[in-house]
């Protein structure tokens, strides 16, 4: 029995956070066959490395097969998912970077003439130097023997290199649609409430038929999926502060803890308890 418990623990997702570096979070998965994501997005910039095997990578409307040695990049708001192929083993690590922090770095480096985040046009790359640098950064972050200065310096050095290697496009990948953006903002601001379709339509001044059709085309998710995704982001913030899972489930707007647990695992391939640590 002890052996089985240890084996299960090895398969569990590993999360890393440090209060001294609040702008970065890391996770790793040793056995990707144990996880499966629904299409989702993050408010932060995400970058990951496939460390073994291969998987299916969905990014917006595109679908790719990615394998060991590949680095994947997701802008804030990009809808994505990465899932196993049949029952093939694969593993990966991910870093999540606060958008405001990365935007400031872009500004310091001269890539952003204003204070807006410049999106990356590339979705994945097999550059060996980039892959090795990302893996090395992860190892520094999770190393308890490394001090804060070393970790912070390594983060800045790596993302400076990423920025210089992949100068983001001057124009965003999506043309702005202000009414749809207003709908999304209304959902974000009221994500913990019981929202009705007519509430969202009234806030955005759009008809239900147009909203449902155009919202999914623009954001890659239905308004309901967007709402659940935002509730998960809200819950992550509360879990990081150490709040009880049952309380977080209700605060985030879920009907009960079971519904929350199911949705959380679909989005993060981890339970709320595994994420909170």
Low-confidence ranges of the chain (pLDDT < 50): 1-9, 171-173
Instruction: Provide the pLDDT for residue 44.
Output: 95
Chain CA centroid to CA 95, Å: 9
How many Cβ atoms from other residues are within 10 Å of residue 181's Cβ? 14
Name the token pair of 7. 């084996």
Q: Where are the domains of the chain?
A: 2-165, 178-276
Instruction: Provide the pLDDT for residue 7.
Output: 46
pLDDT in tens, 191-224: 999 899 899 999 999 988 888 888 988 888 899 9
Which listed CATH number (3.90.1150.10, 1.10.10.60, 1.20.210.10, 1.20.120.1200) goes with 178-276? 1.10.10.60
> If one looks up domain 2-165 in CATH, what number appears?
2.60.120.10
Instruction: Provide the pLDDT for residue 4.
Output: 37
CA distances from 72 to 44, 125, 266 (A): 14, 7, 20
Instruction: Provide the pLDDT for residue 3.
Output: 37
Complete DSSP assignment for the chain: -HHHHHHHHHHS-EEE--TTSTTEEEEEES-GGG--PPSB--SSEEEEEEEEEEEEEEETTEEEEEETT-EEEE-TT--EEEEESTT--EEEEEEEE-HHHHHHHHHHHTS-SSSSPPPPS--EE--HHHHHHHHHHHHHHH-TTS-HHHHHHHHHHHHHHHHHHSPPPSS-SS---HHHHHHHHHHHHTTTS---HHHHHHHHT--HHHHHHHHHHHHSS-HHHHHHHHHHHHHHHHHHTT--HHHHHHHTT-SSHHHHHHHHHHHHSS-HHHHH-
Distance CA 174, CA 272 (A): 32
Instruction: Provide the pLDDT for residue 9.
Output: 47
Query: What is the value of pTM for the model shown?
Result: 0.79
pLDDT in tens, 174-190: 567 899 999 999 999 99
> By C-alpha distance, which of 72, 127, 113, 117 is closest to 94?
72
Instruction: Provide the pLDDT for residue 159.
Output: 93
Chain CA centroid to CA 76, Å: 8
């Amino acid at each position: 029995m002890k052996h089985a418990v240890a084996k299960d623990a090895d398969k569990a997702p590993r999360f890393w956070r440090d209060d001294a570096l609040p702008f970065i979070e890391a996770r790793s998965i040793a056995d990707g066959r144990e996880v499966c994501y629904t299409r989702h997005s993050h408010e932060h910039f995400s970058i990951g490395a496939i460390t073994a095997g291969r998987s299916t990578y969905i990014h917006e409307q595109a679908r790719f097969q990615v394998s060991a040695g590949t680095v994947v990049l997701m802008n804030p708001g990009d809808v994505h998912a990465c899932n196993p192929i049949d029952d093939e083993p694969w593993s990966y690590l991910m870093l999540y970077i606060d958008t405001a922090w990365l935007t400031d770095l872009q500004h310091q480096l001269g890539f952003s003439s204003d204070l807006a985040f410049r999106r990356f046009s590339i979705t994945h790359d097999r550059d060996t130097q980039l892959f090795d640098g990302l893996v090395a950064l992860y190892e520094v972050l999770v190393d308890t023997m490394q001090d804060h200065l070393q970790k912070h310096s390594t983060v800045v050095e790596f993302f400076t290199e990423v920025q210089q290697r992949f100068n983001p496009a001057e124009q965003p990948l999506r043309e702005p649609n202000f009414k749809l953006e207003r709908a999304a903002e209304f959902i974000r601001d009221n994500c913990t409430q019981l929202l009705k379709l007519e509430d969202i339509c009234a806030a955005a001044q759009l008809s239900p038929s147009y909203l449902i059709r155009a919202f999914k085309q623009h954001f890659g998710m239905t308004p309901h999926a967007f709402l659940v995704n935002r509730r998960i982001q809200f819950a992550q913030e509360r879990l990081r502060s150490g709040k009880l899972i049952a309380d977080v489930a209700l605060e985030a707007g879920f009907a009960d803890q079971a519904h929350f647990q199911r949705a959380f695992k679909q989005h993060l391939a981890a339970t709320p308890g595994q994420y909170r640590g």
